[in-house]
């Protein structure tokens, strides 16, 4: 059948209807995990496999807070390989380029199904080529919390990398030799997985403050090292020097100001790319100039936001993951630098999740189409190169959702008649800012009215597309293979789009 | 006789043209899936306008626009003509 | 009319294809110093086909050709045939070379059926500075750009942060341009990462009487445009003066905020409004 964004979805799956369809559906929660009386401390991962009797066809989950430095998913993968377990289902919140040893396991059908929010690197490449035997489900950060709490994604064992654990099984991410800051993506796994294993390299007597509550923890494994610190905090902290990126960022900040969004008690979120960081810098300058104090910034947190918190430009930060060392240190010491779980961040069924409280968000796009649908999951050939993360969550939650992108990247126009893959429905995307003009979603009559008499170069999105085609030429239409390799799942658990194998000729 | 012009920087292309016993156009482009035909016809038309046949043209393209490709080819042709 | 002119290297497709989006009032496509000797024809072909084919071009196009007498100058002029070049920026200009180029251009324009090409003189030698007063007879000339880097080389001196060394040259350019109704364009500030230095330099040059400034990086443009534009206060003042003068057409002079306003001041106000209109500041 055809779903609410005009995409084909097989009849056995719930189709996406609209981004606020969840409002009429009651929250579904399986019981949380019962209290664990005695957390057991174990010497190695292999013993855990014995104790829990991890076998073929099980579902194992992970978080990605250690990012490119993560060793835990790789150690568990080695164990799966050594035991030759087959048809495993893994549910990491993201898959990073360093997780290269998953490649052989996928090719050899040790791992056949994956549920994740973002993936990049070699694993993404081979899945695009059709090597995953089962299905890949790409959800949002908030949506992952939804399918875990509802029992749609039952987790047999959650392996939670945890930089420090105490004798009671309580865990924290802010300190320890592999400190990574908050552990927001692991909380649903902790509360709903059948078995929970903390994997750490640092055990202390007693933690005063902790994010992981030991009452849910069945086992703690101490290994030599859970992460390579240089890969953990790999986020970009540099503002772009690219004049096109800077121009877009400047126009974006000025537009926010023109729309009256930079006002006392406002809240915002941006991506962590170099152009987004430039927007943050310009917003910072505007706030200083106008004496504005914002309510909060949220998301993955970077140094730029830490600096704003410390100069009292924001009252607090809601942090689901720390992108750099400054964010990790700030989370450890500043009481206004608050952790949030993926559920508190983006689960539509939470009472007033953070994403719903945002005034505006600044996001990127690999492609955007004439209906304002955004793709950040695949490139224009269909190769997997990312995923929603929180994109679709905050695009829906925020009052104003702005996409910033150059019109052309290496001759490829970012505006398409139809995006290759829908990650975020166009109904949740309000403004596109490019170096040659701005387009406003026709649904936002209010924003169009406000900008009617401005000096901004405002076009219809199809006019921007025509302008781009005059520069680049019209690109040839790309065909995908018929084979479906997975699906994009919306945050309410419905299905937005199919992911298809990339044709061999590309 | 041989001429080379351009670069492998982004939005540019490196074009090599060499006399040969038949005309052959070889295109390696990072945007080939989208623009192969357009690049090919730019090369073909430019050769025709310059009355050039029996050459081997190699285009290594990093997303150059048509006028860039055309100008690189013309420079490569000038250089080929000077290469005696 | 412009406040800012941005130099773009003639052989850089990435920069060239985005030349229209930078905040410069005009773009100088550079075939001279930014292009190595072996790439002169490559750059020339690229600029020619860009101007001929691109659907998006800058508001004003300036072409810096190689100096008269170099083996490339005449070939560079071929680009004029695109009819997209608004001004020719000619390096190392002195009285003799200006005249020779001028008559050469006249022949070229007649042959190719082109309109008269306007010239911006790039004055960057002691000879150029001392002979500037003679340029005035040439009606192709519409502005002078001071090239301080080559000038200080010519003088065998180093430019320091105070820029005292080029005070005389700046003043010469400013007075010559004002007297002949030409636009005085200041030398670029070369330390692209020093924002404060750029600001100081712009304010100083603007204060002396420069009307525009060249830039060598897009990120310099915002500051240049800002400083070389009429301020909000100036625009408000000019609007008020024009309104008063229109209300009192019979009066040659009147008072505004306790100050005497007469014809030269009304003219100045009109100029400010004209600039504000062109630069989209109203």
C-alpha to C-alpha distance for C114 and C109, rounded to whole angstroms = 5
Give B13's contacts in chain A (Cβ within 8 Å).
none
pLDDT at position B83: 80
Mark A123-146 as b/e (b = at least 16 C-beta within 10 Å): bbbbbbeebbbbebbbbbbbbbbb
Q: Do B75 and C53 touch (CB under 8 A)?
A: no
pLDDT at position B62: 98
Query: Are β-strands A88-92 and A294-301 bridged in parallel, bridged antiparallel, or unpaired?
Result: unpaired
Map A215-268 to HEC letters.
HHCCEEEECCCCECHHHHCCCCCCCCCCHHHHHHHHHHHHHHHHCCCCCCCCEE
Helix (H) or strand (E) holding B56: strand B55-61
pLDDT at position C245: 87
pLDDT at position A235: 59
Count structural domains, chain C. Answer: 2
Q: Nearest Cβ partner of C56 from A241, A246, A471?
A: A471
Give A250's contacts in chain C (Cβ within 8 Å).
222
Ranges of each domain in chain A: 54-232, 243-480
C146 and C92 within one domain: yes
Q: Is the pLDDT of residue C252 over 80?
A: no
Segment C49-68 shows an average pLDDT of 96
pLDDT tens, chain A, 506 aa long: 999 999 999 999 999 999 999 999 999 999 999 888 889 999 999 999 999 999 999 999 999 999 999 999 999 999 999 999 999 999 999 999 999 999 999 999 999 999 999 999 999 999 999 999 999 999 999 999 999 999 999 999 999 999 999 999 999 999 999 999 999 999 999 999 999 999 999 999 999 999 999 999 999 999 999 998 778 776 566 788 899 999 999 999 999 999 999 999 999 999 878 899 999 999 999 999 999 999 999 999 999 999 999 999 999 999 999 998 899 999 999 999 999 999 999 999 999 999 999 999 999 999 999 999 999 999 999 999 999 999 999 999 999 999 999 999 999 999 999 999 999 999 999 999 999 999 999 999 999 999 999 989 999 999 999 999 999 999 999 988 889 999 999 999 999 999 999 998 87
Q: Do B65 and A411 touch (CB under 8 A)?
A: yes
Q: Choose between C255 and A181: higher pLDDT.
A: A181
Q: Do B33 and A471 touch (CB under 8 A)?
A: no
CATH number belonging to domain A243-480? 3.40.1080.10
Q: Which of C186, C211, C228 is the last residue of a domain?
A: C228
For the record, the structure tokens of C98 come out as 């200006």
What CATH number matches the domain at B2-82, 3.30.230, 3.30.420, 1.20.1070, 2.40.50? 3.30.230
CATH classification at residue C202? 3.20.20.60
Q: Is the pLDDT of residue B46 over 80?
A: yes
C-alpha to C-alpha distance for C212 and C193, rounded to whole angstroms = 20
For the record, the structure tokens of C214 come out as 């060249």
Give B66's contacts in chain C (Cβ within 8 Å).
53
Comparing C-alpha atoms, which of C144, C162, C83 is closest to residue C117?
C83
Segment C86-112 shows an average pLDDT of 94
Residues of A in CB contact (< 8 Å) with B are 380-381, 410-412, 471-473, 475-476, 478, 506
- Cα distances (angstroms) measured from residue C159 to each of A65, A455, C123, C148, C165: 52, 40, 16, 8, 6
C251 and C111 within one domain: no
- Cα distances (angstroms) measured from residue A252 to each of A210, A255, A303: 38, 5, 20
Task: Report A:153-212 residues touching C (Cβ under 8 A).
Answer: none
C-alpha to C-alpha distance for C254 and C248, rounded to whole angstroms = 8
C-alpha to C-alpha distance for A267 and A29, rounded to whole angstroms = 30
Domain that holds residue C239: 232-278
Q: Do C53 and B67 touch (CB under 8 A)?
A: yes
Q: Nearest Cβ partner of B33 from A410, A473, A506?
A: A506
Assess A250–C contact: CB distance below 8 Å, yes or no. yes
C267 and C165 within one domain: no
C-alpha to C-alpha distance for A15 and A1, rounded to whole angstroms = 8
What CATH number matches the domain at A54-232, 3.30.70.890, 3.30.460.30, 3.40.1080.10, 1.10.10.60? 3.40.1080.10
Give B16's contacts in chain C (Cβ within 8 Å).
none
Q: Nearest Cβ partner of A381 from B33, B36, B37?
A: B33
Q: Do domains A54-232 and A243-480 have the same CATH topology?
A: yes
pLDDT at position C137: 87
* pLDDT tens digit sequence for C116-161: 999 999 999 999 999 999 998 899 999 999 999 999 999 999 998 8
| Three-state secondary-structure class, residue A434 | coil
Q: Is the pLDDT of residue C261 over 90?
A: no
Mean residue pLDDT of chain C comes to 94
Separation in Å, CA of C18 to nearest CA in chain A = 8
Give A435's contacts in chain C (Cβ within 8 Å).
18, 21
Assess C45–A contact: CB distance below 8 Å, yes or no. no
For the record, the structure tokens of A306 come out as 């830490």
């Amino acid at each position: 059948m055809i779903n609410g964004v005009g995409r084909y979805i097989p009849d056995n799956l719930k189709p996406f209807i609209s981004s606020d369809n969840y409002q009429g559906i009651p929250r579904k929660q399986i019981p949380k995990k019962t209290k664990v009386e005695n957390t057991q401390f174990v010497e190695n991962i292999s013993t855990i496999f014995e104790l829990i009797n991890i076998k073929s066809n099980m579902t194992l989950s992970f978080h990605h807070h250690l990012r490119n430095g993560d060793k835990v998913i790789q150690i568990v993968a080695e164990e799966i390989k050594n035991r030759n377990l087959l048809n495993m289902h893994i549910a990491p919140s993201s898959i990073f380029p360093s997780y290269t040893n998953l490649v052989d396991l996928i090719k050899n059908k040790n791992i056949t199904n994956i549920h994740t929010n973002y993936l990049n690197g070699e694993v993404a490449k081979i899945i695009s080529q059709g090597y995953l035997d089962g299905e890949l489900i790409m959800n949002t950060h908030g949506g992952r919390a939804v399918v875990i709490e509802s029992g749609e994604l039952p987790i047999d064992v959650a392996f939670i990398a945890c930089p420090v654990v105490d004798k009671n099984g309580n865990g924290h991410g802010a300190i320890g030799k592999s400190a990574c800051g908050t552990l927001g993506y692991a909380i649903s796994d902790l509360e709903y997985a059948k078995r929970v294993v903390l994997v750490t390299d640092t055990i202390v007597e007693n933690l005063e403050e902790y994010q992981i509550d030991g009452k849910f923890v069945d086992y703690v494994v101490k290994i030599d090292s859970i992460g390579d610190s240089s890969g953990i905090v790999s986020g970009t902290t540099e503002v772009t020097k690219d004049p096109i990126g800077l121009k877009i960022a400047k126009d974006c900040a000025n537009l926010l100001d023109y729309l009256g969004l930079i006002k006392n008690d406002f809240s915002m979120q941006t991506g962590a790319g170099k152009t987004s960081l430039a927007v943050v810098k310009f917003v910072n300058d505007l706030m200083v100039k106008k004496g504005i104090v914002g309510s909060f910034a949220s998301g993955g947190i970077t140094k730029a936001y830490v600096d704003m918190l410390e100069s009292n430009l924001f009252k607090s930060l809601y942090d689901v993951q720390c992108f750099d060392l400054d964010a990790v240190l700030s989370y450890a010491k500043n009481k206004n630098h608050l952790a949030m779980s993926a559920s508190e961040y983006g689960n539509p069924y939470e009472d007033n999740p953070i994403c719903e409280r945002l005034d505006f968000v600044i996001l990127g796009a690999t492609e955007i189409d004439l209906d304002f649908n955004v793709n950040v999951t695949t490139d224009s050939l269909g190769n997997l190169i990312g995923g929603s993360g929180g994109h679709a969550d905050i695009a829906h939650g925020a009052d104003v959702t702005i996409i910033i992108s150059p019109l052309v990247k290496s001759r490829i126009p970012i505006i398409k008649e139809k995006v290759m893959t829908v990650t975020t429905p166009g109904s949740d995307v309000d403004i596109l800012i490019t170096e040659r003009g701005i387009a406003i979603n026709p649904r936002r009559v209010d924003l169009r009215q406000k900008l009617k008499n401005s000096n901004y170069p405002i076009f219809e999105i199809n006019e921007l597309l025509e302008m781009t085609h005059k520069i680049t030429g019209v690109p040839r239409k790309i065909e995908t293979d018929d084979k479906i390799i997975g699906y994009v799942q919306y945050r309410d658990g419905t299905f937005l789009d199919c992911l298809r194998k990339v044709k061999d000729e590309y | 006789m041989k001429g080379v012009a351009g670069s492998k920087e982004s939005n540019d292309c490196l074009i090599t043209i060499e006399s040969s016993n038949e005309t052959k156009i070889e295109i390696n482009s990072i945007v080939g899936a989208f623009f192969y035909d357009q690049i090919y016809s730019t090369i073909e038309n430019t050769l025709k306008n310059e009355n050039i046949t029996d050459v081997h043209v190699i285009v290594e393209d990093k997303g150059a626009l048509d006028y860039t490709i055309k100008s690189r080819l013309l420079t490569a042709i000038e250089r080929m003509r000077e290469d005696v | 009319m412009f406040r800012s002119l941005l130099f773009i290297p003639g052989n850089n497709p990435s920069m060239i294809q985005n030349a229209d989006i930078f905040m410069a009032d005009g773009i100088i496509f550079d075939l001279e110093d930014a292009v190595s000797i072996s790439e002169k024809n490559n750059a020339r072909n690229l600029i020619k086909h860009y101007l001929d084919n691109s659907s998006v071009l800058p508001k004003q196009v300036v072409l810096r050709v190689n100096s008269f007498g170099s083996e490339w100058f005449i070939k560079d002029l071929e680009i004029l045939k695109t009819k997209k070049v608004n001004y020719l920026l000619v390096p190392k200009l002195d009285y003799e070379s200006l005249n020779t180029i001028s008559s050469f251009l006249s022949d070229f324009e007649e042959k190719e059926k082109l309109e008269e090409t306007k010239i911006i003189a790039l004055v960057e030698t002691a000879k150029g500075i001392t002979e500037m007063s003679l340029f005035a007879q040439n009606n192709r000339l519409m502005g002078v750009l001071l090239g301080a880097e080559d000038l200080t080389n010519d003088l065998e001196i180093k430019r320091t942060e105070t820029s005292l060394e080029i005070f005389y040259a700046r003043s010469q350019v400013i007075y010559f341009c004002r007297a002949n109704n030409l636009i005085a364009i200041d030398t670029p500030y070369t330390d692209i990462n020093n924002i404060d230095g750029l600001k100081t330099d712009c304010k100083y040059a603007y204060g002396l009487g420069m009307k525009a400034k060249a830039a060598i990086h897009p990120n310099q443009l915002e500051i240049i445009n800002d400083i070389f534009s009429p301020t909000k206060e100036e625009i408000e003042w000019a609007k008020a003066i024009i309104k008063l003068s229109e209300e009192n057409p019979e009066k040659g002079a009147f008072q505004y905020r306790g100050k005497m306003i007469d014809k030269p001041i009304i003219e100045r106000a009109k100029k400010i409004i004209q600039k504000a209109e062109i630069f989209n500041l109203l």
